[in-house]
């Protein structure tokens, strides 16, 4: 008779072969022996990035100096890198630009949305949103006089019905950062449109992991970060999507010279660029932007649908491993494939202790209150075998009471 562990091991081998097409682990530098399940927080390092950054620093900056703005295409990088991300989120050319932190772009999008829907007094968002999304929205709402109505995605249709044509904007995340639940972008976008509202989506936990189809879904505005599943590196700049039909009327609150129609005219008056480059603000963090550009090469030969198929197989397998080997943790991620992003989250009273103890065994996940252990599954470099190893490590942690050894995190520590 085979043990559950042997059976899972055999299945891992079969599934790894079945989804080999999207196994891009050769393109990444993940330390030997580490099972890295925090790619939903900071993506791993693609092998090609270091030499590009070295070249940009030594040759472009070091040798060519200021001329590099033109000779090495620095000025055009926000648009060029945006076009590289566009196919990953289902956007035709001319709608995506890279630059700034996610939070800044969220604020820009929210304020601009208010100008696109004047005279309406309500914005609807999910109370479970990532905090910075709520903060940016609260700030924008205060500026423009919106009332913030909180509704979890399943309650959004009722909230839209209640507030009707007073709703200016529906602002949601595609994937819940804590639970990994995936929301219905086309359905909720259409519901917002029915009352004449705009829909803005945060793609931080879907870009690079889940096909998004922004154009097809009729999404109005979107923002996403690039250092999670797009592997752009720590602090790599975020992107903004403005649907083509809104570009001519999209007016970001922060007006900068990089978003000017004619930046080098040095005019004292601001005039928005006619293209989507109007979302640019000031001089971008070029080193990070060019590191991101190099990182995106990972996706050159693999359609995002293959990445998604591998991701679903991986997360489904991880759920099966947890069911079989660690039944005492509570799964908070939906089991249905079409309701799941690319992470598996479980709850346990000692969640933080579990994350710490797992790290001691070479399995890196992360922790979010209340009691949630997040296991991010970046399909390009995580295998089914890795996930079985992670589950076995979790079993060992609990059996040896290693999770009881950690105090809760002190304030100010990245968990
Ligand atoms: C990661 C993440 C952010 C991060 O915002 P930054 O400004 O890049 O720090 C924002 N929103 C969501 C939903 C995220 O997952």
Mean pLDDT in residue range 243-263: 97
CA distances from 140 to 114, 156, 176, 333 (A): 9, 20, 22, 31
Q: In the prediction, which pLDDT does 181 show?
A: 98
Let me know: does 68 contact 283? Beta carbons within 8 Å.
no
Mean pLDDT in residue range 379-400: 98
Beta-ladder partners of 345: 374
Whether 107 is catalytic is: no
Compute the C-alpha angle 311/371/360, nearest 5°: 70
Q: Which DSSP category does 361 fall into?
A: T
Question: How far apart are alpha carbons 19 and 5 in whole angstroms?
Answer: 21
pLDDT band at 294 (very low <50, low <70, confident <90, very high): very high
Q: In the prediction, which pLDDT does 411 show?
A: 72
pLDDT surpassing 70 at residue 410: no
Question: How far apart are alpha carbons 265 and 221 in whole angstroms?
Answer: 29
Q: In the prediction, which pLDDT does 1 show?
A: 67
Whether 28 is catalytic is: no
Is this model's pTM higher than 0.95 or not?
Answer: yes
pLDDT surpassing 80 at residue 413: no
Q: What is the mean pLDDT of the chain?
A: 96
pLDDT surpassing 90 at residue 405: no
Question: How far apart are alpha carbons 164 and 169 in whole angstroms?
Answer: 11
Mean pLDDT in residue range 391-404: 96
Assess if CATH 3.90.1150.10 describes domain 4-45+303-404.
yes
pLDDT surpassing 90 at residue 2: no
pLDDT surpassing 80 at residue 37: yes
User: Which atom of ligand 1 lies nearest, measured to the CA of 228?
Assistant: 1
Report pLDDT digits (tens) over 132-179.
Answer: 999 999 999 999 999 999 999 999 999 999 999 999 999 999 999 999
Instruction: Tell me which of 34-38, 184-188, 350-354, 409-413 is least confident.
Output: 409-413
Nearest to 43 by CA among 29, 57, 59: 29
pLDDT surpassing 70 at residue 73: yes
Helix (H, G, I), strand (E, B) or coil at 411: coil
Pocket of ligand 1 (CB under 6 A): 101-103, 130, 132-133, 173, 177, 202, 204-205, 225, 238
The residue extents of the domains of the chain are 4-45+303-404, 75-299
Pick the catalytic residue from 110, 130, 229, 239. Answer: 130
pLDDT surpassing 90 at residue 412: no
Compute, in angstroms, the gap from residue 101 CA to the centroid of ligand 1: 8
Which residue's CA is minimally distant from atom 2 of ligand 1? 204
pLDDT surpassing 70 at residue 113: yes
Compute, in angstroms, the gap from residue 132 CA to the centroid of ligand 1: 7
Domains 4-45+303-404 and 75-299 fall in the same CATH topology: no
Report pLDDT digits (tens) over 324-368.
Answer: 999 999 999 999 999 999 999 999 999 999 999 999 999 999 999
Q: In the prediction, which pLDDT does 406 show?
A: 78
Contacts with 369 (C-beta within 8 Å, 6 or more apart), sequence order: none
Fold of 75-299: 3.40.640
Nearest to 358 by CA among 327, 385, 328, 386: 386
Pick the catalytic residue from 228, 310, 356, 368. Answer: 228
DSSP 291-357: HHHHHGGGGTTS-HHHHHHHHHHHHHHHHHHHHHH-TTSEE-S-SSGGGB-SEEEEE-TTHHHHHHH
Phi, psi of 106 (to 5 degrees): -60, -45
Question: How far apart are alpha carbons 359 and 34 in whole angstroms?
Answer: 9
């Amino acid at each position: 008779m085979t043990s559950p562990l042997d059976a899972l091991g055999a299945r891992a081998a079969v599934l790894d072969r079945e989804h080999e097409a999207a196994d891009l682990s050769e393109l990444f530098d993940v330390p030997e022996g580490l099972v890295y399940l925090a790619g939903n927080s900071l993506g791993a390092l693609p092998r090609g990035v270091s030499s590009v950054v070295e070249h940009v620093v030594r040759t472009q900056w070091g040798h060519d100096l200021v001329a590099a703005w033109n000779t090495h295409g620095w000025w055009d990088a926000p648009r060029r890198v945006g076009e590289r991300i566009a196919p990953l989120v289902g956007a035709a050319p001319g709608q995506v630009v890279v630059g700034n932190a996610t939070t800044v772009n969220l604020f820009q999008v929210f304020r601009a949305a208010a100008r696109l829907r004047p005279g309406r007094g309500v914005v609807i968002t999910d109370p479970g949103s990532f905090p910075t999304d709520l903060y940016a929205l609260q700030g924008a709402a205060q500026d423009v006089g919106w009332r913030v109505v909180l509704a979890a995605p399943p309650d959004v249709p009722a909230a839209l019905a209640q507030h009707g044509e007073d709703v200016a904007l529906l602002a949601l995340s595609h994937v819940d950062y804590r639970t990994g639940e995936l929301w219905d972008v086309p359905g909720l976008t259409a519901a917002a449109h029915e009352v004449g509202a705009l829909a803005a989506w945060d793609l931080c936990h879907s870009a690079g992991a889940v096909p998004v189809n922004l154009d097809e879904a009729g999404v109005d505005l979107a923002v996403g970060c690039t250092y999670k599943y797009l592997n752009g590196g720590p602090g790599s700049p975020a992107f903004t999507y403005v649907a083509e039909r809104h570009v001519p009327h999209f007016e970001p609150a922060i007006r900068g010279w990089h978003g000017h129609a004619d930046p080098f005219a040095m005019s004292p008056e601001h005039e928005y660029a006619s293209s989507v480059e109007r979302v640019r603000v000031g001089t971008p963090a070029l080193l990070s932007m060019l590191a991101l550009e190099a990182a995106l090469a990972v996706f050159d030969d693999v359609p995002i649908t293959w990445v998604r198929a591998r991701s679903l197989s991986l997360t489904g397998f991880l759920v099966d491993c947890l069911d079989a080997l660690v039944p005492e943790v509570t799964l908070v991620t939906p089991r249905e494939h079409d309701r799941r992003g690319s992470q598996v989250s479980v709850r346990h009273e000692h969640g933080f202790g579990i994350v710490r103890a797992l790290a001691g065994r070479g399995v890196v996940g992360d922790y979010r209150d209340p009691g949630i252990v997040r296991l991010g599954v970046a399909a390009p470099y995580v295998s089914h075998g890795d996930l079985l190893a992670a589950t076995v490590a979790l079993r060992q942690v609990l059996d040896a009471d290693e999770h009881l050894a950690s105090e809760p995190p002190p304030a100010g520590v990245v968990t």
